[in-house]
Amino acid sequence: MNLIPAPRGIERTGGTGPWTGEVRARTDPSLPPEGYRLAIGPDGADITGGTEAGVSWARQTLRQLLGPDAFRRAPVEGTAPEVPFAVIEDAPRFAWRGLMLDVARHFLPKDDVLRYLDLMAVHKLNVLHLHLTDDQGWRIEIGRHPRLTEVGAWRRRTRLGWGEPARWDERPHGGFYTRDDLREIVAYAAARHITVVPEIDVPGHSQAAIAAYPDLGNTDVIDTSALEVGTAWGICPNVLAPTDRVLRFYEEVLEEVLEIFPGRFVHIGGDECPKDQWRRSPVAQARIAAEGLDGEDGLQSWFIRHFDRWLTARGRRLVGWDEILEGGLAEGAAVTSWRGYAAGIAAAKAGHDVVMCPRQHVYLDHRQAPGDDEPVPLGWVRTLADVYRFEPVPPALAGTPHAARVLGAQANMWTELTESRDRVDYQLFPRLCAFAETVWSDLPPPAERDAAGLLRRMDAAHYARLDALGVAYRPPDGPRP
C-alpha cells in the first residue's frame, strides 16, 4: 500500500472497491494514546483511535490510501478513488516525533509555518520545535520589550555561506511573528495534534537581543552599543551577561512565551556559548565567586538552572541542547542531543528525558548528495538512505531501563543557507519522509533496514503525494534543473 511511515500491522481483507466517503470514528482508551485501528470495507471506513490524536493519524493513513489526488488543494472532478479493503493496526514507536525549524537565520512567514504543520501531519510528526531567536534575528514579538523585534528582527545584509572570501547579498532581511501569529500557529498545530515547542536561546546565540538592548551584553568587556544584528554565521563571542538585569529581562520574555505556548516543554537553547567574555569580565567573575561556581562552565549551568527552577515553578519543563550538561545538568531538564549520542546517553543514564537529534544523522541542512550541483553543496552528505538508517536508541541504551528516557527524536533544519520556502522544502524532502518512519514504525536495527524498500514506496506512491502537495523536494535522480 506504499504507506509512509509504514504501519505496524496490515491485514488485507480482500480486493479493492470504490471509496464511499463514509468514515465512522470513535475513541477507545484501551488502545495506545496515539494508536488506531482502521478498517476499510465496501461501506466505508471505521476508525478507532486511542485518543483523538490516534483518530487523526488514522485519517492521514486513509488519505494516503485514497491516492495522490487526495492531497490536492481541490478535488479532481470526475474521479472516483478506489480503496484497498484492509484492517490496519498501528501505533507510534516514540511520543516525540519532531521537526526543528530555524526561523531565526532566515525568517519563514507564518503561512509557510502553517504549511509545514500540514506536511508534518501527513507524516505523523507531532512536535514542531521553533528556533525563534539567534544572533541573526529575534522572531517573536514581546510586548514588554518591543525593541527585540523593532531592532532585533532585522539585519542589514547576509553572508552568503561560510567560505572565504566573504560574499554578502547586500540587502536587508527580517521579519517576526506577532503574538497573534504565534497563537494561530499553536492552534493550527493543536488541531493536527502537534505540539509547538518554542526556543529562546540563552546565554549564547543572543547577539540580536544584545543589539536591541545593549545592557544585556557584557558591557564591562566590550562596547555592546556598537553591536548590530548578526550578519554572518558560526559561533559568536557576544553572549549574555550573568546579571540580575538579564535574568529579570528573560523572565519577562518567558512570561509572554508561556502565555502563547501551552505545551509542557520550553527550549532554552544553551548551545555554543563561548566563555571568553565571561573570563575577562569582572562582573562575571564576581558572580562566579559569589555563587561559588565552578568557573565559566558553572556560570553557564547557573543560567540554565535558574530558568529550570523558574519554568518548573510554573508547571513547565526545560529542554536544552547538550551543552547544558556542562557544569552539571539542571534537575528537571531534558536534553536535545545534537553533537552525537553521547550527551543523550549521559543524560538518560542520569535519569533525564532525551530527544535524539545527532547532527551526523538528522541535520537536514546538510547536503543530501555528493554532487557539486546541489543547490547548497555544503555539510556532510546525508542521503535519504542514510537518514533511514538513523536509530534514536543507541546500543549503549538499548535493552536497558534508561532506553525509556529517550522520548524520541527530531530532525533539525538550520537555515543559514536556505533563504526561501522552496530551499527548505528541498532540504527537508524526501529525507523527512525517511525520518518519519524511523520515529513511528517498528524498524529492524539500522544495518538490516530495507532502504531499497523505502525508495520503492517513494517511487510507487509517495513522490506523487508530495507532487500533489506542491512540495519542492529533491528528485530521486538529482537536483532540479
Element (H, E) at 266: strand 265-269
Instruction: Name the minimum Å distance from CB 264 to ligand TNX.
Output: 21
Examine residue 107 and tell whether it contacts ligand TNX (CB under 6 A): no
C-beta of 184 vs 271, nearer to ligand TNX: 271
Please give the backbone phi and psi of residue 394, each rounded to the nearest 5 degrees, phi first: -75, 160
Instruction: Name the minimum Å distance from CB 358 to ligand TNX.
Output: 10
Instruction: Name the minimum Å distance from CB 150 to ligand TNX.
Output: 24
C-beta of 302 vs 338, nearer to ligand TNX: 338
Element (H, E) at 289: helix 282-291
272 is known as an active-site residue:
yes
Query: If you search the block for the grid coordinates 519563514, which residue do you land on?
Result: 108
| CA nearest to 338, candidates 139, 199, 449 | 199
Cell of 368: 543530501
Q: Which of residues 364-383 bind ligand TNX (CB under 6 A)?
A: 365
Examine residue 388 and tell whether it contacts ligand TNX (CB under 6 A): no
Neighbouring residues of 217: CB distance < 8 A, sequence distance ≥ 6? 206, 210, 224, 227, 238, 239, 240, 241, 277
Examine residue 271 and tell whether it contacts ligand TNX (CB under 6 A): yes
C-alpha distances out from residue 271 to 304, 474, 480, Å: 11, 30, 34
Lay out the site mask for ligand TNX across 53-92 (x = CB under 6 A, - = otherwise).
----------------------------------------
Using CB under 6 A as the binding criterion, the count of chain residues that bind ligand TNX stands at 8
Report CA dihedral (443, 444, 446, 449) to the nearest 10 degrees: -80
C-beta of 143 vs 162, nearer to ligand TNX: 162
205 is known as an active-site residue:
yes
Examine residue 414 and tell whether it contacts ligand TNX (CB under 6 A): yes
Task: Please state, in angstroms and rounded to a whole number, the distance separating the CA atoms of residues 5 and 258.
Answer: 32
- Choice among 131, 145, 173, 205 that is catalytic: 205
Examine residue 437 and tell whether it contacts ligand TNX (CB under 6 A): no
Examine residue 419 and tell whether it contacts ligand TNX (CB under 6 A): no
Instruction: Name the minimum Å distance from CB 338 to ligand TNX.
Output: 4
C-alpha distances out from residue 364 to 381, 426, 458, Å: 10, 10, 18
Question: Beta partners for 101?
Answer: 130, 413
- Choice among 134, 199, 365, 416 that is catalytic: 134
Lay out the site mask for ligand TNX across 164-193 (x = CB under 6 A, - = otherwise).
------------------------------
Examine residue 138 and tell whether it contacts ligand TNX (CB under 6 A): no
C-beta of 261 vs 321, nearer to ligand TNX: 321
C-beta of 321 vs 435, nearer to ligand TNX: 321
C-beta of 19 vs 338, nearer to ligand TNX: 338
Quickly list H helices, 314-371.
342-349, 359-362
Task: Please state, in angstroms and rounded to a whole number, the distance separating the CA atoms of residues 267 and 440.
Answer: 23
Examine residue 363 and tell whether it contacts ligand TNX (CB under 6 A): yes
Alpha carbons within 13 angstroms on the beta-carbon side of residue 43 total 2
Examine residue 199 and tell whether it contacts ligand TNX (CB under 6 A): no
Instruction: Name the minimum Å distance from CB 84 to ligand TNX.
Output: 41
| Cis amide linkage into residue 165, ω under 30° from 0 | yes
Examine residue 256 and tell whether it contacts ligand TNX (CB under 6 A): no
Examine residue 321 and tell whether it contacts ligand TNX (CB under 6 A): yes
Task: Please state, in angstroms and rounded to a whole number, the distance separating the CA atoms of residues 52 and 27.
Answer: 7
Task: Please state, in angstroms and rounded to a whole number, the distance separating the CA atoms of residues 142 and 148.
Answer: 7
Residues that bind ligand TNX (CB under 6 A): 271-272, 321, 338, 363, 365, 414, 416
- Indicate which residues carry an active-site annotation: 134, 205, 272
